[in-house]
Structure 1
Amino acid sequence: MLRTRVITALVIAALLIPAIFLLDPRAWMLLTAAITAVAAWEFARLAAFPVVGQWGFGVLVALLLLVAILGLTPGQLADAGLFSMLLSAAFWLCLVPFWLRNRWQGLSAWRMLPVGLIVLLPTWYALIALRENSPGWLFAALLLVALADIAAYFFGRAFGRRKLAPNISPGKTWEGAWGAMATVTVLAVSSQIALVGVDAGRILILMVVMPLLTLVSIMGDLFESMLKRQVGLKDSSQLLPGHGGVLDRIDSHTAALPMLALLLGWLA
């Protein structure tokens, strides 16, 4: 299993990293739209859509993104993207904490459909907006969220005592979450100093915002884990050997990337 997982991760990296830096903007939009449509199909599985509805939701998301790519001007796309990312921030900060705490379940497919759109469409636009700023910024954002997950795992293994959400993801601990928040904040502040220079205002903002963003990324992971538990699935799909599905790999990113894009736009 470990060998399969490592091989799959290397193949994904070998395909994704060149795409981030080499594809033209339209090709990047289409590639990420295809990935988002697959994630939409997987989300519909976790939301207990009927089989036809699962495929239908994937097609719906694909069509919405194609309309955005082909039918909107850059200004219209930017306005729609900004609105979607603000909606995403409100969803993750104001609604999901209560959803996780109360473990709401049994919502109909019609009620889960807008939830899927709020989870996925802003993530797609964040991938576009971060790359438009700089492919390096997008790569750094993806890496930062991945490092938060890795840090949470290792700090949890080493120091974990108090369960973060035992009924949703028994392996996660508060110690792991605190370790991830500290790691991400130190990396963000260090990068700011090394690449941009000492700016007390920006450093203060990073010290306040990065722990929150790390916690939000953990909520993204927990939210998907909760949906999987409610429908009795181990993975969102089996498309990525050793890893599960696309949504299993981007669950934390769906929560964090839109807010990282908003933060970058604010600081720019």
Structure 2
Amino acid sequence: MLVQRILTALLLIPLALAVMLLPPTWLFGVIVGLVFLAAQWEWTRLCGVRKRATRAAWLLLTLILLGVLWTLRTHPWAWTLGVAVGVLWWLTSLLWLRNYSFAAAPTRENALLKLLVGLLIFVPAWLALIGMHGQPHGPWWVLLAILIVWAADTGAYFSGRLFGKRKLAPRISPGKTWAGVYGALALGGAVSVVGGWLLHVRHPAALLGMLLLGVVTVAASILGDLIESLFKRQADIKDSGTLFPGHGGLLDRLDSVFAALPAFVIVKLLLGL
């Protein structure tokens, strides 16, 4: 499994780098939007929606919403508000983690609730990406946000394997440990500081801000991972899909990113970075 994960990552990383760094913002937004819609398709399955026509209709609704928001992208208040709504959702999701069985029953009402939650997961993350990408040095800030998440995943994996004993959330994700959390925070924070330095954030106070940015981003990424694990357990599904050997589906690869991006953008704005 580890070899599969490494080989898949080696194939995906150059493609991801090209998408983040090469296209103009409008094309970047289109590409990311299509990827997020594909992840939304997997999400509808986790929500318990079986009919393909219903799932396709929900994707069409999401696409229309993205189109409307694209027309508002040049208004800073609209962009900031949309991203902030995402941060508010992720803070609220902590209550869902505490109430493990909430909305677990396979009812239409619960399925609709989870579909609406999907909008709060995907849309703010998309807004965070396109808004940040269009700013000065934006593609590099986008890359840094993604690198922090990748570093957190790597730090969590190896520190968890080496030192992991105390479980983080055994009912939700038995493989995650507190040692993994500490490894994720350490490596993600380090990448954030180094990335800030390379982006000419050189003042000591600003570098401390970069460390805080990295820590908050990593914490949000862990939360995103836990929420998807919770929904998969409620749906009795191991992986959201089989697109990537050793990695699962798109949603399995992007769950941390969806939560990390709004947090990254809002903290970056608050710190003036």
- When normalised by structure 1's length, the TM-score is 0.89
Partner of 1:113: 115
1:185 CA drift (Å):
1.8
Contact 2:41 2:59 in 1 (8 A): yes
Q: State the partner residue of 1:257.
A: 261
Aligned residue number for residue 167 of structure 1: 171
Query: May I ask how many residue pairs the two structures share in their alignment?
Result: 264
Which residue pairs with 1:79 in the alignment? 77
Instruction: Give 3-state SS (helix, strand or coil) of 1:60's partner.
Output: helix
Shift of 1:246: 1.0
Q: Aligned residue for 1:189?
A: 193
Partner in structure 2 of residue 203 of structure 1: 207
Distance between the aligned counterparts of 1:40 and 1:213, measured in 2? 22
Deviation at 1:209, TM superposition (A): 4.2
Any conservation in 2 of the 1:5–1:241 contact (CA below 8 Å)?
yes
CA contact (8 A) 1:42 1:247 kept: yes
Is contact 2:144-2:195 (8 Å) kept? Answer: no
1:15-59 deviation per Cα after TM superposition (whole angstroms, max 9, x unaligned): 222222221222111111111111111111111123233222222
Shift of 1:151: 0.3
Moved more, 52-61 or 118-127: 52-61
Kept in 2: contact 1:44–1:53 (CA 8 A): no
Shift of 1:192: 3.1
* Runs of 5+ consecutive residues of structure 1 not aligned to the other structure: none
Consecutive unaligned residues in structure 2, runs of 5 or more? none
Confirm whether residue 99 of structure 1 aligns to residue 101 of structure 2.
no
SS in 2 for 1:170: strand
**Cα deviations by residue, 1:215-239 (Å, 9 ceiling, x for unpaired):** 2110100110111111111111223
Question: Secondary structure, in 3 states, of the residue corresponding to 1:219?
Answer: helix
Kindly tell me: are residues 86 and 13 of structure 1, through their superposed partners in 2, closer, same or farther at Cα, counting changes over 3 Å?
same
Quick one: distance in 2 between partners of 1:79 and 1:131?
A: 17
Task: Map Cα deviations across residues 92-149 of structure 1 (whole Å, 9 max, x no partner).
Answer: 12x1112112212236122122211100001111121222232111111111111101
Aligned partner of 1:34 in structure 2 is 34
Q: Is the 8 A contact 1:42 1:54 kept in 2?
A: no
Q: Deviation digits for residues 139-163 of structure 1, max 9, x if unmatched?
A: 1111111110110111111111110
Q: 1:20 to 1:56 in 2, by over 3 A?
A: same
- Residue of structure 2 equivalent to 1:132: 134
CA gap of 1:73–1:171, structure 2 versus 1, over 3 A, is closer
More divergent stretch after superposition (190-199 vs 150-159):
190-199
Partner of 1:213: 217
Tell me the distance in 1 between the aligned counterparts of 2:158 and 2:10: 21
TM-score normalized by structure 2?
0.88
> Are the aligned partners of 1:46 and 1:231 in contact in 2 as well (CA < 8 Å)?
yes
Q: CA separation of 1:15/1:183 partners in 2, compared to 1, >3 Å: closer, same or farther?
A: closer
CA distance in 1, matches of 2:7, 2:49: 32
| Structure with greater helix share of residues | 1
Question: What corresponds to 1:232 in structure 2?
Answer: 236
Secondary structure, aligned partner of 2:240: coil
**Which residue among 83, 89, 95 is the counterpart of 2:87?**
89
Larger mean Cα displacement after TM superposition, 207-216 or 141-150 = 207-216
RMSD between aligned residues: 2.1
Structure 1 residues 5 and 159 mapped into 2: Cα distance closer, same or farther (>3 Å)?
closer
Greater shift, 115-124 or 54-63, is seen at 54-63
CA-to-aligned-CA distance 1:151-183 (integer Å, 9 cap, x gap): 011111111111000011111011110121122
Residue 149 in structure 1 maps to residue 153 in structure 2: yes
Amino acid at match of 2:193: V
2:54 is matched with 53
Contact 2:196 2:202 (8 Å CA) reproduced: yes
AA of the residue aligned to 2:32: T
Answer whether contact 2:216 2:263 (CA < 8 A) is retained: no
Residues 151 and 28 from structure 1, CA distance in 2 versus in 1: closer, same or farther, beyond 3 angstroms?
A: same
